[in-house]
A and B are shown apart, each in its own frame.
Chain A
Amino acid sequence: MIIPKNIIAGIFAQAQAAAPIEACGYLAGAGGRVARYYPLTNVDGREDHFSFDPEEQFAAHKAARQEGIGIIGVYHSHPATPARPSAEDIRLAYDPSVVYVIFSLMDGVRTVKGFHIRQGKVEEEPLKVEEV
C-alpha cells in the first residue's frame, strides 16, 4: 500500500490529539494507493478499544464512491502499545478486503504498519510512504 506522507502526518496528528483515546478512520483510494482519509468517531471512547459509528461509515463509503475511489484500508491508533494487531484487532477483523493500518504512539515514537487479517491469520502489508 502506498500512502502519501501528508496523510500519514494527518493521521498521526489525529492520533496525538485523541490520545489517550484510540483514534480511527478509513483510508480510501485505488490501485493500492491511498488518496485520502476519513477520520471517524471512536464511539467506544476508550483508551484500549475502538468501534466505528455505522452512520459515519456509510457516509465515508458514499463520499469515496462519489470521488471515484473506494475504501481500501482501516486505521486506528495504539496510543501506548506497538504497531501490531492485538488479539482483539484480529478477532474483530471481519472485512478481508481491506488493509488494517495501525499507528502507534508508544513511548513517544511514531510507528505505522499495515496488515492483512484474514480468518485470524495476520500478514504484514508493506507500506510505502510517498513524498508529496
Chain B
Amino acid sequence: MTIKLEINGKIDHVSGEITVRELLREKDVEDPDMVSVKLNGTILDRAAFDTVQVRENDEVEFLYFMGGGSQK
C-alpha cells in the first residue's frame, strides 16, 4: 500500500514503508551514495540508508553532494 510523504517540499507517494535507499531508487536517484538525505529535519548518516524506513507523512529531502575544484 502506498504511503504519502513530503519529498523536497512536494506531496508525493512511495510504495510503502520502505528504506531510504529504496526510496532513492524509486525516485530514480542514480548515485545514492553521493546524496545527502534529511528525514524530518535530521540529516541521516549514509550508513543508515539501508535500515531507516520512511513512514506516512514523513518529510524527506535529498540532494546531491556538490564538490569539485581546479586541481588536476
A55 at the interface (CB under 8 A from B): yes
Can you name 17 A-B residue pairings with CB atoms under 8 Å?
A48-B70, A49-B69, A49-B71, A50-B67, A50-B69, A58-B36, A58-B63, A65-B9, A78-B70, A86-B69, A86-B71, A88-B70, A88-B72, A89-B68, A92-B66, A92-B68, A95-B66
Which residue in chain B gives the minimum CB-CB distance to A66? Answer: B9
Q: Are B43 and A89 in contact (CB under 8 A)?
A: no
Chain A residues close to B by CB (< 8 Å): 22, 24, 44, 46, 48-52, 54-55, 57-58, 61-62, 65, 74, 76, 78-81, 85-89, 91-96, 100
Counting residue pairs across A and B whose Cβ atoms lie within 8 Å, the total is 83
Q: A94-B65, A95-B64 are in contact. Are A54 and B70 (CB under 8 A)?
A: no
B48 at the interface (CB under 8 A from A): no
Nearest CB in chain A: distance from B43 CB, A: 6
Query: Which B residues lie within 8 Å of A48 (CB)?
Result: 69-71
A-B complex: 4 closest residue pairs judged by Cβ atoms: A49-B69, A89-B68, A48-B71, A51-B67
Query: Which A residues lie within 8 Å of B68 (CB)?
Result: 49-50, 76, 85-86, 88-89, 91-93, 100
How far, in angstroms, from A80 to B69 measured CA to CA in the complex? Answer: 11
- State how many residues of chain B have any CB contact under 8 Å with chain A: 20
How far, in angstroms, from A36 to B47 measured CA to CA in the complex? Answer: 34
B4 at the interface (CB under 8 A from A): no
Nearest CB in chain B: distance from A42 CB, A: 9
Query: Which B residues lie within 8 Å of A91 (CB)?
Result: 68
How far, in angstroms, from A40 to B49 measured CA to CA in the complex? Answer: 26
Query: Which B residues lie within 8 Å of A93 (CB)?
Result: 68
> Taking each of A55, A74, A93, A95, which has the highest tally of chain B beta carbons within 10 Å of its own beta carbon?
A95
> Taking each of B30, B61, B70, which has the highest tally of chain A beta carbons within 10 Å of its own beta carbon?
B70
Query: Which A residues lie within 8 Å of B43 (CB)?
Result: 54-55, 58
Which of A55, A65, A85, A92 interacts with B67 by CB under 8 Å? A92
